[in-house]
Structure 1
Amino acid sequence: PLAVLSPSSRRPLGAAAFPPVPSSVITSCISEPVFVGSAFDPAEEKLYFFFSEVGKEYSFVDKLKIARVAQVCKDDVGGQRTLQKRWTSFAKSPLLCQLPKQLPFNVLQDSFTLQPPGGADTGDTRFYGVFTSQWSVGSESAVCVFQLRDVRSVFAGSYRTFDMRSQQWSQLQEKHSDLGKCGLENATDAVLVEVKKSFLTSDSVKPVGGVPVVVSTGHRYSRVVAMTTQAANGKEYTVLFLLTESGFLHKVVLLDQGPRVVEEVQVFTQPQPVKTIVLSSSKGVVYVGTSEGVTAVPVENCPSYRTCTRCVLARDPFCGWDNSRKVCSSLGSSPTNMAQDLENGNVGKECPRQTEAEPVSVETFLNKAVRLQCSKLSNLATWTWTSPGFSSLPEEIFLQSADGSLSFLASSDTLGTYRCVSEEGEYREVVARYTVRQKAPPRSMRPPPTTAVQRKTGVNPPEDTRAEEPTFTAEPPRDPEENPTREPASVSEDETIPYEEETGSEPPAHDYRLPAGTDFAVTDETLDPGARKDPNQTLKEKSYHSELVVVSLLLAVCVCLMMVGLYRWRQRKPGLKPSPLVSPRESGEAKGSLESVPSLSLEDSPSELKVLE
């Protein structure tokens, strides 16, 4: 940007590159400059540059920074002999951005040029600048607005001259009409010598209204863009988009009562240096560029205001409440049927039929922490919680968080109703209502009773048949005198077959029938009709072990008979001696007893087999 001080290039001024400028020219005109922007005045064919530099006109121990605006004529080609290859129309002036009786904001961070509507006077062009102070210890910044006609007036006024012998700036006693003018390429050497040492204006360019339009003590703004829009009442409003160093984009509308932050958008999660910010009014988008990429932020987000109250209280000049569609939308869709009040935010007039928030029931156990949420209508609103119990309970048991939520411990005294009231200006609205009740304690679940088979054997039935087993319930013991002929409890006759009828003998030890004197019985109340088994299936399961015992006994009898027959056959065989384990006396007795038993040999019963009964 320092190359703008050199007229040696014939390229159009703007964003194009320029050849380097001799250091002597830079030293004589400006000192340690930091350029932030430029603008073009088509009416006077002048270029304006905005920058900050170290002011040499003041004698301070420390380097005093000054915000400046400089001008150069577009057709300036330099002088013939004096100021050859140097600007003859260069002049600079301080930009004053200061609150009354306060130190000025003397460091210019960014500038933006807002052109007037088509057909208007170019003198209405406005320059918006973001300023900070070199003496500030916190995040302070300000926005000042300058008008082009005021800049023209300052450059057409009086100037200061630099005395080479005293090295000081002094006021010119008379006004020179050639200073700050264009077309001096054919001027005399005397005129150009005066121009060479008198390029600093005596007056400063003051902002519109004399004071900054925005002053922030909590945010340090680094970039600014501006646009105008027409509200529902037909009035034009200026909207500023200010970027903070922490990565937030503030949308500020300039009202008659002062500036108002309408919306805050977090552009970056982590702070990072912003290279540029560009506003596209036709597309309604603000582009923020960094070294990592470009982010597009829309200038309006009307659907985020879901109620008429929030839409009107936002005071967003781009948005209004559509009464026909019951939505908050852009004014471009239906500007004549929109509820909007930017200056006062009169919700009672614009939204007459607003309903309170629906009550929410909260059930909790005693001695449990309860947290009730509450959302504000905007960041400018304040929260207030109300409850009938606040008058009789100490304040220490209630805790209100920074997000507006209310926390307390549930007890018999803290149960009841709670309301969250949002207040903004003179408007109050109940945004949340809660009724805190005690939750009933959970019912105790009885374990499922075990079956008689489980009690007797300790074995659980298979997984697929457990749900189908009948449930047994315990009955209290009865007096024997009350029912002397009570029979042992057993499973119903349809489900079991007595073992005596099958084998004619005593029941084995593995019989699954309930023993006499048991206190467990199957009742109709505990049986699940849908889970009863087929009687044939139950009979088969009940008699399985009995059949196994009967088969085992029959097999043992057969083995015994075969042993006896084998013994008889060995005794009748010739030459076979009695067993030495039997005495002669016992042998004779055994022989006499065996003679009464029919022989089982094939020789004694040649034709048929006799069966002993």
Structure 2
Amino acid sequence: MASTQQSFLTGSLFIIIFISSSRCHAHAVPRVTFPLESPGRPFTVFTLPGVYNATTLLLSDDEETLFVGARDAVLSLNITNAGHLQLSKKIDWSPTNEELGACGMKGTPEMDCPNFVRVLQVLNSTHMFACGTFAFSPRCSFIDSEEFTLLVNPSGKPEEGRGRCPYNPYHKNTAITVGGELYTATVADYRGNRPVISRHLSEGDRVDMKLDDTPGWLEDPTFISSTYIPSEEKVYFFFSEMGREYDFVDKFTVSRIAQVCTSDVGGQRTLQRRWTTFAKAQLLCQAKGELPYNVLQDMTTLQSAEGASKEDTLFYGIFSSQWSVNSGRSAVCVFSLREVKTVFSGNYKVLNRDTLKWSRRTGEHEKIANPGECGLHNATDNVLRFVKENFLADKNVAPANQGLALVSPEQRYSNIAAQRVKGANGKEYTVLYLLTESGYLHKAVLLKDGAHIIEEIQVLKQPHQVKNLLLSASKGTVFVGSSEGVASVPVSSCSHYWSCAECVLARDPFCAWDFTQRVCAHVSSIKHQPVQDVDGGNALNVCKTFTTLLPRGRSLLPGTPSVQVPVFLKEVVRLHCPVSSRLASLHWERHRGELSPNIYIQEDGILSFLATPTTLGSYECQATENGFTQTLAVYEVRQKQDSTHQPSATPTTLSPENGRQATSPPTKPETTPGPKDEKPMTQKSTTSTATSTVIPSSVHVPEDGSTNMFQRESSTSYLKELVAVSVLLVICICALLMVAAYNLRKSYRSRTVPHLPSSHQDTEGGTEQEREALRENSPQPDKHHGQKSPNTPSNGVSNGSNGHLPNIPI
């Protein structure tokens, strides 16, 4: 009864939370977007003919070599040159035709039957270990590190892969080596219904370990990642599974962290060759008053800073939600090792083996031991039976900052990497690299006032279901593995920012402004006083000592000419503003006169208006970000000399790069700290290319006050057209009257003219026999002189069957 009341109260609490989920987050939006092959953010992609699905990535200890597990192959890539991948050696490792045929006989699609290498680990200085799906029959092998070749088992039999590697290439798994032993979390059967967490390759008096087969230890899990914490002598596993402790919700998914001690060798009688130190707890990624992000997608470990406590080790995870209210979103939560240790050292829930229901521990349940504590393999059978049924921690692991580190409203993240970066002021910042499901790489910096996404880079042409992300801090490179190959992306591209203002507004811990060289460069390369403000991005204060604060890609001379836009009167002019940042608000200003909403339409950085004598002149597009205002484009709209020419039906496109002709718009050498005297209309920024387009007057005009402007400007300007049309109408009427009079006069004359004999009439009036005789007696053309036959169509037009052109009535 108590359990039922508890479930009801818990379910009611979730319903209340669901109803009250009205609080909005300051969702992080990338400041700058770099499409594929953008010159502002170059990177390289390594591909090899015949090699696909390069999704298992591993760095050597010295980070000079990148090992890649692909489909039917294992690669060794030299990365001595940062950002450049060079093939060193390759191992071909594919099933035989007979094995592929047997895989197909099981009903497996042919494309899933090759050997997908899913485990690749360094065992010691001389050997590596690899496992692959191998036509749905997992197989492993040792690799000679020096020769980089597969080693044959002394028995001649292939190394068993079951329990170390999944059968299905789409099933997730994780593996890590500690002291030459392999710790894995995967499924041990063809259908993926037997999850196992095990240890292999044990030597000496140590034995291989795995979970007990008792129900409840794992509930349909999806394994994500694993990590080893030397100070704890524990391996931690991260996964998602069904939360059976919440029996009021059917198939409620929860995220877990589980632990095993590396010293565990199993019990003497109870739990022989089974984990005695296995324990798990829930990871709760949830903001106050909102539904949780409960499905774990990826997890990475960031070791504690130099000189800090090992308990400051952090775990950064990507979470999605099974709730429709958070559909399409991803959240990043960070957990500390200190909080994980506190939860595992606390109380544990009690599992009723008869009903398989969990309940809280009460006073009547005696606590015999501390589950998860190392050294329990020497405990008594009574203690081991206790830990066998008490392995789910009572409390949840809450985020280190008691909230969400980052929320993406537009993208779903799939992979994550993290590093600490020292800024120009000596302060350390945490930088996250997030790979989206759509193939974009986001770089974000975590600040006190929230996460700031510095940039997003498109690294994949198409979305891929299986991909991987690996960071090499020493090389300053992020590696992205997918079916397209291995992309090598530099962690920063400071040269993209061509002004002090944009270098500071980027808030990139890697980049700072070098006032001596007048360039944005890597912090480590600047010798004297690097200019940077990662925390505030206050370009107005930081860059105020410089005389020229110019936007990216503009001339350093203050007198740069504006873009000339020649137009005809009564044409609709559309001026496009270039976008330097998605976080900036765009607004237009006119040198002389106000931008009345009855005359001008501003939308998404585009200014539209009707060309009249009063609207000709100079226009500026300005962007304001963090209180700093800069001019992005200047257009000079003027009337064309030939005023009688009508507007062209084809839009004329001008831009700051190619506009009349190839002249860049001027930029203000001075800065403006705030809004002008005239209140500008703030517009949402876009990512489109900056263009200035003159379009015909048939453009759609919103049905608001601006329509009156178009009507007023057009009502007094059609007098000439009206006169011209009237004159043409009179001329046409006169011509018709003259033709009618001529035909009438001809008909009267025909009555008094004598008729000629039929033989002298035109051939069209003769009989069929006469016409046929004329055809037979007419001279034939000389083909040698290139003359055409009467039946040969000319100018590509075919004759009809009745002698007339087709589709023309007789």
**Fold conserved (TM > 0.5)?**
yes
Counterpart Cα distance in 2 of 1:331 and 1:209: 28
1:112 corresponds to 2:281: no
Structure 2 partner of 1:416: 617
Residue pair 2:174, 2:225 contacting (<8 A) in 1 also = no
Q: CA deviation at 1:103?
A: 1.0
Counterpart Cα distance in 1 of 2:496 and 2:595: 40
Partner SS for 1:311 = helix
Q: Which amino acid aligns with 2:445?
A: V
Counterpart Cα distance in 2 of 1:335 and 1:60: 62
From the superposition, tell whether residues 284 and 274 of structure 1 become closer, same or farther in structure 2 (CA, over 3 Å): farther
Give the alignment partner of residue 312 of structure 1, picking from 496, 504, 528.
504
Counterpart Cα distance in 2 of 1:96 and 1:247: 27
Give the alignment partner of residue 144 of structure 1, picking from 333, 340, 352.
333
TM-score normalised to structure 1 length? 0.67
Residue pair 1:232, 1:336 contacting (<8 A) in 2 also = no
Partner SS for 1:88 = coil
1:229 corresponds to 2:413: no
1:162 corresponds to 2:374: no
RMSD: 2.9
Residue pair 2:543, 2:549 contacting (<8 A) in 1 also = no
From the superposition, tell whether residues 61 and 119 of structure 1 become closer, same or farther in structure 2 (CA, over 3 Å): closer
Structure 2 partner of 1:559: none
Counterpart Cα distance in 2 of 1:191 and 1:273: 44
Q: CA deviation at 1:280?
A: 0.7
1:206 corresponds to 2:407: no
Residue pair 1:142, 1:212 contacting (<8 A) in 2 also = yes
Residue pair 1:67, 1:94 contacting (<8 A) in 2 also = yes
1:254 corresponds to 2:453: no
Structure 1 partner of 2:548: 354
Residue pair 1:97, 1:212 contacting (<8 A) in 2 also = yes
Counterpart Cα distance in 2 of 1:17 and 1:51: 11
**Structure 1, 271-280 or 228-237: larger mean CA deviation:** 271-280
Q: CA deviation at 1:121?
A: 2.3
Structure 2 partner of 1:375: 578
Counterpart Cα distance in 2 of 1:361 and 1:34: 57
Q: Which amino acid aligns with 1:71?
A: Q
Q: Could you give the per-residue CA deviations for residues 363-407 of structure 1, whole angstroms, max 9, x where no partner exists?
A: 4141455443422331100110111566376545x45453x2434
Q: CA deviation at 1:258?
A: 1.3
Q: CA deviation at 1:210?
A: 1.0
Structure 2 partner of 1:12: 181
Q: CA deviation at 1:136?
A: 2.9
Q: CA deviation at 1:111?
A: 0.1
Structure 1 partner of 2:633: 432
Counterpart Cα distance in 2 of 1:72 and 1:18: 18
Q: CA deviation at 1:148?
A: 0.9
Structure 1 partner of 2:240: 52
Give the alignment partner of residue 487 of structure 2, picking from 292, 295, 304.
295
Q: How does 1:10-89 map to 2 (within 5 A)?
A: 12-14=181-183, 21=196, 25=213, 27-89=215-277
Counterpart Cα distance in 2 of 1:23 and 1:12: 16
Q: CA deviation at 1:318?
A: 0.8
Partner SS for 1:13 = strand
Structure 2 partner of 1:570: none
Partner SS for 1:27 = coil
Counterpart Cα distance in 2 of 1:112 and 1:253: 16
Q: Which amino acid aligns with 1:424?
A: E
Q: CA deviation at 1:220?
A: 1.6
Residue pair 2:276, 2:388 contacting (<8 A) in 1 also = yes
1:122 corresponds to 2:325: no
Counterpart Cα distance in 2 of 1:71 and 1:81: 22
Counterpart Cα distance in 2 of 1:125 and 1:324: 39
1:171 corresponds to 2:323: no
Counterpart Cα distance in 1 of 2:211 and 2:367: 30
Q: CA deviation at 1:355?
A: 5.0
Q: Could you give the per-residue CA deviations for residues 510-563 of structure 1, whole angstroms, max 9, x where no partner exists?
A: xxxxxxxxxxxxxxxxxxxxxxxxxxxxxxxxxxxxxxxxxxxxxxxxxxxxxx
Structure 1 partner of 2:777: none
Counterpart Cα distance in 1 of 2:341 and 2:185: 26
Q: CA deviation at 1:296?
A: 1.4
Q: Which amino acid aligns with 1:151?
A: V
Counterpart Cα distance in 1 of 2:411 and 2:247: 31
Residue pair 2:568, 2:643 contacting (<8 A) in 1 also = no
Residue pair 2:512, 2:522 contacting (<8 A) in 1 also = yes
From the superposition, tell whether residues 18 and 171 of structure 1 become closer, same or farther in structure 2 (CA, over 3 Å): closer
Q: How does 1:188-203 map to 2 (within 5 A)?
A: 188-203=380-395
Q: Could you give the per-residue CA deviations for residues 99-140 of structure 1, whole angstroms, max 9, x where no partner exists?
A: 111111111010000112344322111100111111135311
From the superposition, tell whether residues 169 and 195 of structure 1 become closer, same or farther in structure 2 (CA, over 3 Å): same
Counterpart Cα distance in 1 of 2:609 and 2:640: 16
Q: Which amino acid aligns with 2:374?
A: C
1:366 corresponds to 2:568: yes
Give the alignment partner of residue 243 of structure 1, picking from 410, 435, 446.
435
Counterpart Cα distance in 2 of 1:304 and 1:290: 27
Q: CA deviation at 1:17?
A: 9.0
Residue pair 1:34, 1:53 contacting (<8 A) in 2 also = yes
**Structure 1, 382-391 or 235-244: larger mean CA deviation:** 382-391
Residue pair 2:186, 2:223 contacting (<8 A) in 1 also = no
Q: CA deviation at 1:192?
A: 0.8
From the superposition, tell whether residues 297 and 26 of structure 1 become closer, same or farther in structure 2 (CA, over 3 Å): farther
Structure 1 partner of 2:10: none
Q: Which amino acid aligns with 1:27?
A: P
1:387 corresponds to 2:590: yes
Structure 2 gaps, min length 5: 1-118, 120-162, 165-172, 190-195, 197-209, 551-557, 646-810
Q: Which amino acid aligns with 2:182?
A: L
From the superposition, tell whether residues 67 and 443 of structure 1 become closer, same or farther in structure 2 (CA, over 3 Å): closer
Counterpart Cα distance in 2 of 1:223 and 1:213: 15
Give the alignment partner of residue 344 of structure 1, picking from 530, 536, 543.
536
Q: Could you give the per-residue CA deviations for residues 46-79 of structure 1, whole angstroms, max 9, x where no partner exists?
A: 0000000001112134101110000001121211
Residue pair 1:82, 1:189 contacting (<8 A) in 2 also = yes
The structure, 1 or 2, with the larger RCO (C-alpha pairs under 8 Å, 6+ apart) is 2
Residue pair 1:129, 1:145 contacting (<8 A) in 2 also = yes
| Higher Cα radius of gyration | 1
Counterpart Cα distance in 1 of 2:436 and 2:174: 31
Counterpart Cα distance in 1 of 2:470 and 2:393: 32
From the superposition, tell whether residues 19 and 416 of structure 1 become closer, same or farther in structure 2 (CA, over 3 Å): closer
Counterpart Cα distance in 1 of 2:248 and 2:174: 26
Counterpart Cα distance in 1 of 2:282 and 2:353: 22
Give the alignment partner of residue 526 of structure 2, picking from 329, 334, 340.
334
Residue pair 2:259, 2:277 contacting (<8 A) in 1 also = yes
Q: CA deviation at 1:224?
A: 1.0
Q: Which amino acid aligns with 1:148?
A: L
Q: CA deviation at 1:306?
A: 0.8
Q: CA deviation at 1:246?
A: 1.6
Q: Could you give the per-residue CA deviations for residues 9-37 of structure 1, whole angstroms, max 9, x where no partner exists?
A: 99613469997758972733011000111
From the superposition, tell whether residues 327 and 161 of structure 1 become closer, same or farther in structure 2 (CA, over 3 Å): same
Counterpart Cα distance in 1 of 2:185 and 2:357: 36
Structure 2 partner of 1:540: none
Q: Which amino acid aligns with 2:492?
A: E
